[in-house]
Structure formats: C-alpha cells, structure tokens
C-alpha cells in the first residue's frame, strides 16, 4: 500500500463551545454575590452597559418559564447567533432588573442586623494598655500579641522573638507570663498542654493527678485509653474518668470565641422560599445584583447615524452583541434557577415540613427529567447556591441525598439514616455504649438494611467518637 498526500471531503457533526455559550454556563453556576461581582466587572469592560437609575416597575417577582422561541441555547448545547437588533426588538427596555428595592418589608429578621465583633488582638491590646508596664515592656507585649493566632496560641518561640526585638530572653519571657494572665484564660500558650495547664492554674484546681495526665497522657486520653492510663499511673479507673471530665471543661482554643477581621457576616441566599397558607412560593433573590441596561446613546448611534466609519460601527456592534448576550444569559440563569428550585420544593415538601428525617432520596437525574434540563445544567444551577427556607438557610445540594433500601422495598435517604444514628447514640447507656455493629442491628430492626462499615462512615461524618472514646467507667 503506497503512502501519499490527498484531499477528501468529510461531513461531520461536532459541538463547538462558543464564547457566548461559555459565558452563559459561567453565569449559571455563579452565586448571587459572585454574579454581582461579575456584572460590575462587565460594566467596567463594556461601555455599552450602564447602571439603571431610578425605580422601574416590574411585572412581578416570580419567574415564569421562558418560551422556547426565546431560548438562546438548547439542552443539546446548540447555539444560534444572537442579533442585537432582534434582541432589542424583543426587549424594548433592555434592562436586567433585580428584586424591587422599594419593596417595604413588614417583618424584620434579626440576622439582618449585624455588628463587627471585637477581635482577639484588640481585646488583648486593650488589656495590655491597662497594665502598669513600662514603655519598652509594652512594645514587647504588642509584638507578642501580634504573634498570637486566632485560636490564642503563640506562633513564635521566645528565642526567635528576643532575636527579632534585640532584647534579652528573660525580658520577653517576663512579658509573656503577664500576657498569659489575660482574658481569655489560656491565651498566649505555645502548646495545648501549656494552654490547659494555664487554665488549671488560674482556675485554682489543686489536683496533681490532673497535671500529670495533661503533661504526659493527653494523647492517650484523646484516644480513649483510660484503662491503660489508670494502669500506668496506678490509680482507679474512676479517678482517670474524673480527670477526663475536668479536662473537657477546659477550652483547647481560648481565642476562637472572638471575631476575626476577615469573618464573613452572613450568607446571601440565591433563592428565597416563602410559605403562605400552606403553599410555598419560590423567589429568585437578585437584590444585590446591579440593574444594568444597554446605553441608549450607543443604540441611537447605530440605528440613526448611517455615516459612521466602519471600524467604529464594528466595535459598537460587537459590544452591543456582548451586552445583549449578557442580559439574556442573566435572565436565562433566573429561569433555570427557578425551574430547579421549584422542582426541589415539590419533591421535598415533607423535608421542608418535618425536617431531615423525612428527606427523600433524590439525584440529579430525577430533577433533570422533571424539568427537561440536562443533568449538568441542574448541577451547575445548584452548585454554590443557598436557599432560605422555614428551616433556615440551606445549601441547595442538601436537597439531594443518596438512598438506602428498607425491608419494605422503599428507600430512606442517607440524611435520614444519619439522624437515626444520632438518636441511637444519644439514647445509649454510656457505661455500655453501642458499637457500630450493634447500631447496624438496631437500624435493621427499624427496617433499614445497612452494613457496619456504612454505619462507621456515617458516624465519622457526624463527628461521633468511636465506642472506646464514648465509654464511661
């Protein structure tokens, strides 16, 4: 067979990811906060976009399904070129509207009133200024406080800080001892053992056994080796149990109750679910997204000025097409998010009414079939999104749950099984706690077929300690 060059014609079909489709996919998976950042960025890049000022009367807050004739891409990924003239004819206002900001709420949530909490550094600095230390000692104290992390632990050694300050180690150690007397108790420690010993000292616990366990057996105690510790020290099991109970009253991270400068205040829900007369209403929360519109000046320049040069007209048309695509992509996001949220509410009404024990097994495929969307579209629509419900602000992914088979042939969600495991462990006798196999047997008696390994996996996810660490003597 000879080799050579040749020409031949082939007819093939392939999916091309256009920049417009890529933009629509990106916008779909953005949360409300991220979408507001993205829109502000587009306002800086596209001169044809501008903020809509003043109040605009909306036809309604509820999103309804968009007709098929106005879809800019279908579920198979096919796209069609968007003509800006066609878009502006269909959308005379050419504006993306968030929620009506002039809406007067009659009820107020306490979560909306926030204040910045005092940080640990500020709290320690205030106490340092109230001491009678000299100016040089105050400078050392400020440096030490600057090296204390958010949990209250000192992150540098005395030798390193003395070298940085060019001071004697005794001076630095003296100031450190003073800071370790500050509130919260245990602050300024260099290890967990030192933190607990400082708390024991300041709380006045006169217990030599307590100090011995903290200094030498803290790791073994965390693993539940109470019998081994008692045998090693030569005391009764009840004494070690008493010491363990005392240690549990101490705070291993004394600084965590104070705020941090980069703490997030609250989560902005992307969907708000309101219950009125036993009926749920889905609202898309776009209150923080800027209202944008297409500049009327540039539109007029294209439609009226026929004598503008070719390069200028080409530039304006490209930016106008980009603006139209952005507006349509944001609206498409609203439509998709409303479809998915409404479907989740319909499928999980028992969960919303009665809690996690009534959460049904649900996957992306079921929602995709009911909404007529692709599974990847449902996944993007629920990714990084939160919904405000009567149960609180929940992640939309929490509505999805894998299932376990009951003896009756029905399915129970994994979240329901986790709640049952919590109830079983909460009602056990701590002198004789249940192991994983016993918990699996109890669940089988309730009609849920589950293995010991699955129980252990769910128990770890719930943060429940193994049986050896839960056992009391």
- Residue pair 146/140 in contact by the 8 Å Cβ criterion: no
**Residue among 144, 91, 103 at smallest CA distance from 120:** 144
Counting Cβ atoms within 10 Å, is residue 196 exposed (0-12), middle (13-18) or buried (19+)? buried
195 with 139, same domain: the answer is: yes
Kindly state the DSSP code that residue 117 receives in the 8-state scheme.
P
Instruction: Quote the pLDDT of residue 353.
Output: 86
Give the structural domain span for 286.
19-53+80-99+268-394
Looking at 151-160, 206-215, 228-237, 401-410, which range is the least confident one? 401-410
- Residue pair 425/440 in contact by the 8 Å Cβ criterion: no
Average pLDDT, the chain: 81
Residue 176: pLDDT over 80: yes
Residue 78: pLDDT over 50: no
277 with 237, same domain: the answer is: no
- Express each pLDDT in 241-268 by its tens digit: 999 999 999 999 999 888 665 555 578 8
Instruction: Quote the pLDDT of residue 212.
Output: 93
Instruction: Quote the pLDDT of residue 110.
Output: 47
Distance CA 212, CA 243 (A): 10
In a domain, 64, yes or no: no
Q: Give the helix/strand (H/E) hosting 116.
A: none
362 with 379, same domain: the answer is: yes
Is the omega angle on the peptide bond into residue 321 within 30 degrees of 0, that is, cis? no
Classify strands 392-395 and 95-96 as parallel, antiparallel or unpaired.
unpaired
Radius of gyration of the chain (CA): 32
Beta bridge mates, 403: 413
Kindly state the DSSP code that residue 82 receives in the 8-state scheme.
P
Number of domains observed in the structure of the chain: 3
Over residues 138-150, mean pLDDT: 92
Q: What is the CATH number of the domain that holds 464?
A: 1.10.10.60
- Express each pLDDT in 272-287 by its tens digit: 998 888 888 999 988 8
Domain boundary among 373, 394, 415: 394
In a domain, 214, yes or no: yes
239 with 325, same domain: the answer is: no
Instruction: Quote the pLDDT of residue 335.
Output: 92
- Residue pair 394/387 in contact by the 8 Å Cβ criterion: yes
Q: What are phi and psi of 467, to 5 degrees?
A: -60, -35
Confidence of residue 296 (pLDDT cuts 50, 70, 90): confident
Instruction: Quote the pLDDT of residue 102.
Output: 42
In a domain, 451, yes or no: yes
In a domain, 411, yes or no: yes
- Express each pLDDT in 423-442 by its tens digit: 899 888 888 889 999 898 88
- Residue pair 181/202 in contact by the 8 Å Cβ criterion: yes
129 with 251, same domain: the answer is: yes
Structure tokens at 276: 């009125």
In a domain, 107, yes or no: no
Instruction: Quote the pLDDT of residue 82.
Output: 45
Half-sphere exposure for 269 (CA within 13 Å, toward CB): 20
**Long-range CB pairs of 139-143, under 8 A, 24+ apart, other chains included:** 139/165, 140/165, 140/167, 140/171, 140/172, 140/175, 141/175, 141/178, 141/179
142 with 159, same domain: the answer is: yes
Structure tokens at 98: 């968030």
251 with 165, same domain: the answer is: yes
Q: Mean pLDDT: which of 25-29, 49-53, 409-413 is highest?
A: 25-29
325 with 413, same domain: the answer is: no
Domain boundary among 394, 414, 438: 394
Q: What are phi and psi of 403, to 5 degrees?
A: -125, 155
Q: What are phi and psi of 364, to 5 degrees?
A: -65, -35
Token pair 């300024």: residue: 188
SS3 408: coil
Domain boundary among 344, 361, 394: 394
194 with 305, same domain: the answer is: no
Classify strands 386-389 and 95-96 as parallel, antiparallel or unpaired.
unpaired
175 with 91, same domain: the answer is: no
Confidence of residue 307 (pLDDT cuts 50, 70, 90): low
Residue 124: pLDDT over 90: yes
Classify strands 403-405 and 386-389 as parallel, antiparallel or unpaired.
unpaired
Instruction: Quote the pLDDT of residue 61.
Output: 41
In a domain, 336, yes or no: yes
Counting Cβ atoms within 10 Å, is residue 470 exposed (0-12), middle (13-18) or buried (19+)? middle
Residue 70: pLDDT over 50: no
215 with 328, same domain: the answer is: no
Q: What are phi and psi of 434, to 5 degrees?
A: -80, 140
Residue 167: pLDDT over 70: yes
In a domain, 125, yes or no: yes
Q: What is the CATH number of the domain that holds 182?
A: 1.10.10.1330
In a domain, 91, yes or no: yes
Residue 418: pLDDT over 50: yes
- Express each pLDDT in 315-362 by its tens digit: 888 888 888 888 889 999 999 999 999 999 999 888 888 887 788 888
**Residue among 19, 28, 50, 21 at smallest CA distance from 330:** 28
- Residue pair 316/10 in contact by the 8 Å Cβ criterion: no
164 with 231, same domain: the answer is: yes
SS3 string, 374-386, reads CHHHHHHHHCCCE
Looking at 199-213, 232-246, 249-263, which range is the least confident one? 249-263
Residue 196: pLDDT over 80: yes
């Amino acid at each position: 067979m000879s080799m050579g060059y040749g020409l031949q014609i082939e007819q093939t079909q392939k999916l091309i990811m256009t920049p417009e489709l890529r933009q629509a996919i990106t916008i779909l998976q953005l949360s409300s906060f991220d979408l507001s950042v993205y829109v502000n960025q587009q306002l800086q890049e596209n001169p044809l976009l501008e903020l809509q000022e003043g109040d605009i009367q909306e036809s309604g807050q509820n999103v309804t399904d968009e007709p098929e004739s106005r879809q800019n891409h279908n579920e198979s990924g096919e796209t069609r070129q968007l003509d800006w003239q066609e878009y502006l004819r269909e959308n005379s206002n050419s504006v993306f509207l968030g929620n009506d900001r002039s809406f007067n709420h009659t009820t107020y949530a306490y979560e909306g009133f926030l204040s910045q909490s005092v940080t640990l550094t500020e709290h320690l600095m205030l106490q340092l200024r109230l001491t009678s230390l000299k100016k040089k000692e105050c400078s050392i104290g400020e440096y030490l406080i600057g090296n204390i992390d958010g949990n209250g632990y000192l992150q540098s050694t005395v030798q390193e800080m003395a070298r940085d300050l060019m001071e004697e180690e005794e001076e630095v150690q003296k100031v450190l001892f003073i800071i370790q007397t500050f509130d919260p108790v245990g602050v300024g420690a260099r290890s967990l053992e030192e933190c607990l010993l400082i708390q024991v000292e300041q709380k006045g616990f006169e217990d030599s056994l307590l100090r011995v366990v903290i200094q030498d057996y803290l790791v073994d105690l965390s693993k539940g080796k109470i019998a081994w510790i008692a045998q090693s020290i030569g005391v009764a099991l009840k004494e070690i149990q008493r010491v363990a109970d005392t240690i549990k009253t101490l705070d291993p991270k004394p600084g965590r109750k104070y705020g941090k400068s980069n703490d997030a205040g609250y989560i902005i829900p992307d969907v708000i679910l309101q219950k009125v007369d036993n009926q749920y209403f889905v609202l898309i929360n776009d209150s923080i997204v800027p209202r944008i519109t297409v500049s009327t000046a540039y539109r007029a320049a294209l439609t009226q000025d026929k004598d503008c040069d070719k390069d200028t007209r080409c530039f304006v048309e490209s930016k106008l097409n980009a603006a139209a695509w952005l507006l349509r992509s944001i609206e498409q996001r609203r439509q998709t998010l409303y479809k998915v949220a409404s479907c989740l509410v319909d499928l999980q009404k028992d969960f919303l009414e009665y809690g996690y024990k009534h959460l049904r097994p649900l996957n992306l495929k079921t929602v995709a079939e009911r909404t007529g969307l692709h599974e990847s579209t449902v996944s993007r629509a629920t990714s990084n999104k939160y919904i405000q419900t009567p149960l609180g602000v929940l992640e939309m992914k929490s509505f999805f749950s894998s299932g376990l088979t009951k003896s009756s042939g029905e399915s129970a969600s994994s979240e329901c099984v986790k709640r049952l495991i919590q109830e079983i462990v909460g009602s056990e006798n701590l002198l004789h706690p249940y192991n994983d196999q016993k918990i699996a047997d109890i669940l089988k008696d309730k009609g849920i077929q589950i293995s010991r390994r699955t129980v252990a996996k769910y128990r770890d996810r719930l943060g429940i300690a193994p049986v050896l660490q839960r056992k009391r003597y």
